């Protein structure tokens, strides 16, 4: 599994956009827990790098759909799900399981 970034590169309550294997992945630091989600909103493709991070979810900048960070689900629009990947942090390294 690839190391995609260092932990100290993702600010607290912030995000970092990375590219790996032709895929844009957004790393999100929610109170010290790192999540990895796709950058493209499953609704109409807005970049989630501009999303608002609140409580346990990301709110899309275009129409405000709210995606839970833990599994990408959207309560109001269950047909839309943001892709997520498992993340592991070892020492200062963020490892994303892209399988």
Residues that bind ligand FES (CB under 6 A): 41, 43-44, 46, 60, 62-63, 65
Q: Shortest approach of ligand FES to residue 97 CB, angstroms?
A: 25
Q: Shortest approach of ligand FES to residue 89 CB, angstroms?
A: 28
Span between the terminal Cα atoms of the chain, in Å: 8
Smaller CB separation from ligand FES, 43 or 81: 43
Q: Shortest approach of ligand FES to residue 3 CB, angstroms?
A: 29
Smaller CB separation from ligand FES, 4 or 58: 58
36, 38, 59, 67, 96 from 83: Cα distances, Å: 9, 5, 14, 10, 13
Q: Which two tokens stand for residue 10?
A: 């993702």
């Amino acid at each position: 599994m690839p190391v995609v970034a260092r932990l100290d590169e993702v600010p607290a309550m912030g995000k970092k956009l990375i590219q790996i294997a032709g895929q844009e992945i957004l790393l999100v630091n929610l109170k010290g827990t790192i999540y990895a989600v796709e950058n493209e909103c499953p609704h109409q493709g807005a970049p989630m790098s501009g999303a608002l991070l609140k409580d346990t979810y990301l709110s899309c900048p275009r129409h405000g759909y709210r995606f839970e960070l833990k599994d990408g689900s959207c309560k109001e629009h269950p047909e839309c799900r943001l892709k997520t990947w498992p993340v592991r942090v070892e020492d200062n390294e963020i490892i994303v399981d892209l399988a």
